Amino acid sequence: MVAISGALKHLRLDKETDWGTWAGSGYLYIPVLGDGYTVKGKNVVYDPETGIFGYRRGPFGLVTKDVSGELKCLLQLGYVEQLLDWGIKRGATYEAESYSAEFRDGVTAFRHTGLRVNTFTLAGSADSGELAATLALVGKAESIISTFDVPSVTGVVSTGYVDEDFIIFQDGDSLELPDGSAVGTITAFSLQVANNLTIGPAGSDNTIIYAGANRQVITGSINLLYENDTEAAKLRNFTTSSLDLNFLSAAVDVQITLPKIVYSEAPREGAPSATQMLTLNFEAEYDSTLEYAITYTVGAA
């Protein structure tokens, strides 16, 4: 038996026009981080406890099937905006975007259709430098396809898989208020957008018939040096704040803005001989003047 190398893993995305329908309109190649694509088929079965076989389980019936799992990847100019659209953007009817994904491992290749993002998480750490996106996905169906060729890493930016640096946590002013003043010395942050998908019942072929996005809830946390009490005071006074995440590298400029956030907790910690740290846990609120709770821009640096 020959072992299969994990280095043969590749992922490509294709935006859908109709949910759950393969479009074949153009590929976007995503470098998977480690074992960062875990989407797979899932069955829910009916197990009637009849007892007619004594202690042995009787026949199973298929109730519904779908696909679910996570995509975790680092960020580059060629696909960062599409990932943000996929995880955050809503259409005219408030529906979330959907993609088909084709995944090639060392044995075969799969196609997953109807993938929508249940939760989108962007997190960074100053210690490691890593800035990564994690998308918890739910989709309609899985099928086997022919193994596909992958592009060269020197390909054009618009397709992904390019020979350029990834965006890292230290690039640019990572965290500041929209007026340009820094929040503090940031050691880590996490931003999560929950789309709260409702998964529809099974159709005649036992696959789900919809995955509808509901109320969007945006939460996060900021870990920083405890240099002053300015932000913690806003928790005590129940005063709103605001937040910009800025990442600037040689290739790309990414800015994410939350115009109104409310702190839910602000724990402080640190032994007498250790650095004092402050954690700001928050939830974003819709700004009726600006008419958004979160927005983002991506452009060449």
Q: What is the DSSP string of 135-148?
A: EEEEESEEEEE---
- Go through the chain and tell me how many residues it has: 301
The bridge status of strand 28-30 relative to strand 40-46 is: unpaired
User: What are the helix and strand counts (H, E) for the chain?
Assistant: 2, 17
This model's pTM is above 0.75: yes
Domain count, the chain: 1
214 falls within a domain: yes
Q: Is residue 52 part of a domain?
A: no
Q: Is residue 57 part of a domain?
A: no
Asked if residues 151 and 223 have their Cβ atoms less than 8 Å apart, the reply is no
In a domain, 78, yes or no: yes
- The DSSP code sequence of 224-249 is EE---SHHHHHHHTT--EEEEEEEE-
Q: How far apart are CA 148 and CA 14, in angstroms?
A: 14
Return the pLDDT at 173: 47
Residue 212 lies in a domain: yes
Q: Which residues contact 164 (CB under 8 A, 6 or more apart)?
A: 76, 77, 157, 251
Q: Which pLDDT does position 113 carry in this prediction?
A: 96
Confirm whether 50 is domain-assigned: no
The pLDDT profile of the chain, 301 residues, written as one tens digit per residue, is: 556 666 667 899 999 999 999 998 889 999 888 788 999 998 888 888 777 777 777 778 888 888 999 999 998 888 999 999 999 999 888 999 999 999 988 788 999 999 999 999 999 988 888 889 999 999 999 999 998 888 888 888 888 888 878 888 874 445 565 555 666 578 889 999 999 999 988 888 889 998 999 999 999 998 888 888 888 888 899 999 888 888 877 777 888 999 999 999 989 888 888 888 889 999 999 999 999 999 999 987 6
In-domain check, residue 150:
no
Provide the token pair at 289.
């003047």
CA 107 to chain centre: 27
Instruction: Output the pLDDT for position 291.
Output: 93
What pLDDT sits at residue 6?
Answer: 60
Domain that holds residue 113: 10-45+63-145+160-300
Query: Could you tell me if residue 280 is inside a domain?
Result: yes
Q: In this structure, are strands 109-125 and 141-145 parallel, antiparallel, or unpaired?
A: antiparallel
